[in-house]
């Protein structure tokens, strides 16, 4: 960081055009290029990108993919969804029926602290 330059951090919902970069961050975080993964990584990244683009193109009231930007560059991502609990005979009817589900929390390699 240059002296005197203050980085601008923004968090916003991801858009369909963000899908390739979000897929890149998720692939780096959860499928690092080690062993056989180095050969599968391009397919994993492409598959994640298509799935994210599909989800982001059709917004849902129960799902959000958020991205963190530093100086307009995507630095990280997280997905949040509201999910229903499976019905069980032992759960009282007044109990919570839906939960907040957080997944795919990832930070780009160049933004991580060691």
**8-37 b/e (C-beta count within 10 Å ≥ 16 → b):** eeeeeebeeebbbbbbbbbbbbebeeeeee
Neighbour count for residue 66 (Cβ, 10 Å): 15
- Asked if the model's pLDDT at residue 85 lies above 90, the reply is no
Domains of the chain: 9-111 (3.40.630.30)
7-33 pLDDT tens trace: 899 999 999 999 999 999 999 999 998
Tokens linked to 58: 């059709």
Q: Give the residue with greater pLDDT, 90 vs 18.
A: 18
* Contact yes or no for 26/81 (Cβ under 8 A): no
Burial tier of 109 (Cβ tally within 10 Å: 0-12, 13-18, 19+)? exposed
Mean pLDDT, all residues of the chain:
89
């Amino acid at each position: 960081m240059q002296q005197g330059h203050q980085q601008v951090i923004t968090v916003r919902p991801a858009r369909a055009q963000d899908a390739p970069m979000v897929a890149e961050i998720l692939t780096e975080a959860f499928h690092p290029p080690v062993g056989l993964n180095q050969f599968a990584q391009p397919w994993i990244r492409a598959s994640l990108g298509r799935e994210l683009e599909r989800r982001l193109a059709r917004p849902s009231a129960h799902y959000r993919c958020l991205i963190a930007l530093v100086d307009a560059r995507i630095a990280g991502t997280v997905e949040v969804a509201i999910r229903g609990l499976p019905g069980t005979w032992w759960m009282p009817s007044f109990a919570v029926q839906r939960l907040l589900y957080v997944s795919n929390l990832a930070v780009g390699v160049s933004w991580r602290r060691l």
